[in-house]
């Protein structure tokens, strides 16, 4: 699989972001008055590092990693917080002076927005081991500013036993086949979905990414929207996106989908209450905790009836970055070096992530979702995470009119127009 991941390189300029994103308390600031000051932890000196990140599905694993680091480095205290409302909390921390020492950011737009506050990591010892396809998303003005945590992909995760019960012997590759599949599940008395549309990122980021990513030239299309030369309504597969959204509502929870959380979505799927869910490889651990015997797979979401255009989004969900205003920049660099050296244990074996470093290996324990993702990569049937090129912060805003559409408050045209208005406002601001 390591070899197959390298094949993503031809699309690497876009393959980034995730997805997918659980909480903790605030801690006193340890930032220095001097913005460029660093300190080395001497014998007996206690150094506190605040780590802030998203990816709620690995909250316990992140904190266990931090505990292990503290055992090996008794002079260091790591206060690890994993939060769903990440972007708001991150901005609040910086505005209040409670800045984290280590935090996460997404590629391209986000990392560029934060670049003036980040440490240049270009010359760190592990940088030469970063997979080439993970480099572009963290590079600003020729400087590498991030530590990529993984490659990820997403689509419809499905229960193979429930598919078999409904007489379904192959995954759909067209929109028509997806519709027919849902009818077969319904006839067998099986609910297709319980989508977590309460979460902005499931609807306003991951699912809504698809039509933009499916453009022949996603960069050009998004730039043309920014320039006012193209409208959101003109995106080729925008209607296909709403067709898929309609299917998830019709064969799922209906308008009640806007009240379904990520945890509820995963729980319903893992316990066999639903046959499918729109999620990615990051859910494997949460699913297996609930039902270790589940037989599952993942397929790309079709937006039209051209099977050749049905591809799976694959990219980097986020990068660890270092706050250059930290009092302990040297210690934060030391932590990243340690994490790379122990990446097989934590990033792969514990977090169950597909490594974005050439010297880390994928394993069978990553499970069937990673295996299915690999097949799409091997066949070059992949899409970029184009949402990383949207105006900063717009993904959360886009979720609101889409949720209103699911809830029946907006028509399709109203939802699209509101997305366009949000886009225009974000560009002018």
SS3 letters for 363-418?
Answer: CHHHCHHHHHHHHHHHCCCEECCHHHHCCCCHHHHHHHHHHHHHCCCCCHHHHHHH
174: how many CB neighbours lie within 10 A of its CB? 17
Q: Is residue 374 part of a domain?
A: no
pLDDT digit string, tens, across residues 9-30: 333 334 333 333 333 333 333 3
Residues 6+ apart with CB under 8 A from 97: 29, 31
Domain shared by 114 and 176, yes or no:
no
Domain shared by 82 and 177, yes or no:
no
Residue entry with tokens 């605030």:
26
Domain shared by 30 and 110, yes or no:
yes
**CA triple 110-114-120, angle to 5 deg:** 115
* Domain enclosing residue 46, as ranges: 2-151+316-359
Q: Which of 325, 359, 393 is the last residue of a domain?
A: 359
Q: Is residue 277 part of a domain?
A: yes
Domain shared by 248 and 229, yes or no:
yes
Instruction: Using alpha carbons, list the distances in angstroms from residue 351 to 113, 282, 366.
Output: 27, 8, 9
Domain shared by 161 and 52, yes or no:
no
Domain shared by 218 and 328, yes or no:
no
Domain shared by 98 and 171, yes or no:
no
For residues 8 and 382, is the Cβ–Cβ distance under 8 A?
A: yes
Distance CA 219, CA 156 (A): 25
Segments in the chain below pLDDT 70: 1-44
Distance CA 355, CA 345 (A): 11
Distance CA 185, CA 274 (A): 10
Distance CA 152, CA 354 (A): 7
Domain shared by 329 and 291, yes or no:
no
Sort 116 into a burial class: Cβ within 10 Å, 0-12 / 13-18 / 19+: exposed
Number of independent structural domains in the chain: 2
What pLDDT is stored for residue 30 in this prediction? 39
Domain shared by 227 and 294, yes or no:
yes
Domain shared by 147 and 157, yes or no:
no
Distance CA 64, CA 315 (A): 26
For residues 22 and 84, is the Cβ–Cβ distance under 8 A?
A: yes
Q: Is residue 262 part of a domain?
A: yes
Is pTM, for the whole model, over 0.95? no
Q: Is residue 109 part of a domain?
A: yes
Domain shared by 287 and 324, yes or no:
no
What pLDDT is stored for residue 133 in this prediction? 77
170: how many CB neighbours lie within 10 A of its CB? 9
Q: Is residue 377 part of a domain?
A: no
Distance CA 227, CA 199 (A): 30
Residue 368, both tokens: 């069937």
Domain shared by 157 and 303, yes or no:
yes
């Amino acid at each position: 699989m390591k070899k197959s991941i390298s094949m993503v390189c031809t699309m690497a300029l876009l393959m980034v972001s995730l997805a997918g994103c659980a909480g903790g308390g605030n801690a006193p600031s340890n930032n220095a008055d001097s913005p460029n000051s660093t300190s080395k932890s001497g014998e007996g000196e206690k150094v506190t590092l605040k780590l802030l990140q998203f990816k709620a599905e690995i909250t316990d694993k992140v904190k266990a990693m931090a505990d292990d680091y503290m055992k090996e480095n008794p002079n260091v205290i790591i206060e690890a917080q994993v939060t769903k409302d990440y972007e708001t909390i991150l901005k609040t921390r910086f505005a209040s002076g409670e800045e984290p020492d280590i935090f996460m950011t997404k590629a391209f737009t986000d990392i560029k927005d934060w670049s003036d506050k980040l440490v240049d990591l270009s010359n760190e010892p592990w940088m030469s081991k970063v997979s080439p396809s993970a480099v572009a998303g963290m590079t600003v003005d020729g400087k590498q500013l991030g530590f990529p945590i993984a490659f990820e992909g997403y689509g419809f995760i499905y229960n193979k036993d429930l598919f078999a019960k409904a007489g379904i012997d192959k995954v759909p590759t067209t929109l028509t086949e997806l519709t027919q599949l849902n009818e077969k599940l319904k006839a067998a008395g099986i609910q297709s979905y319980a989508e977590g549309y309460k979460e902005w990122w499931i609807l306003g980021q991951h699912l809504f990414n698809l039509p933009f990513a499916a453009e022949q030239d996603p960069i050009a299309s998004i730039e043309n929207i920014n320039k006012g030369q193209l409208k959101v309504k003109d995106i080729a597969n925008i209607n296909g996106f709403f067709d898929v959204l309609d299917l998830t509502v019709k064969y799922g929870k209906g308008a009640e989908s806007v009240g379904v959380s990520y945890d509820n979505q995963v729980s319903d799927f893992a316990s066999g209450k639903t046959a499918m869910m729109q999620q990615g490889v990051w859910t494997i651990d949460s699913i297996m905790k609930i039902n270790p015997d589940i037989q599952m797979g993942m397929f790309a979401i079709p937006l039209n009836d051209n099977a050749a255009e049905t591809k799976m989004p694959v990219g980097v969900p986020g990068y660890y970055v270092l706050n250059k205003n930290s009092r302990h920049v040297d210690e934060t660099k030391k932590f990243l070096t340690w994490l790379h050296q122990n990446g097989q244990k934590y990033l792969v074996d514990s977090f169950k992530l597909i490594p974005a470093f050439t010297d880390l290996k994928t394993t069978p324990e990553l499970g069937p979702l990673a295996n299915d993702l690999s097949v799409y990569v091997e066949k070059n049937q992949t899409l970029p995470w184009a949402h990383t090129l949207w105006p900063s912060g717009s993904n959360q805003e886009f979720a609101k009119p889409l949720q209103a559409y699911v809830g029946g408050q907006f028509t399709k045209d109203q939802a699209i127009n509101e997305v366009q208005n949000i886009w225009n406002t974000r560009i002018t601001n």
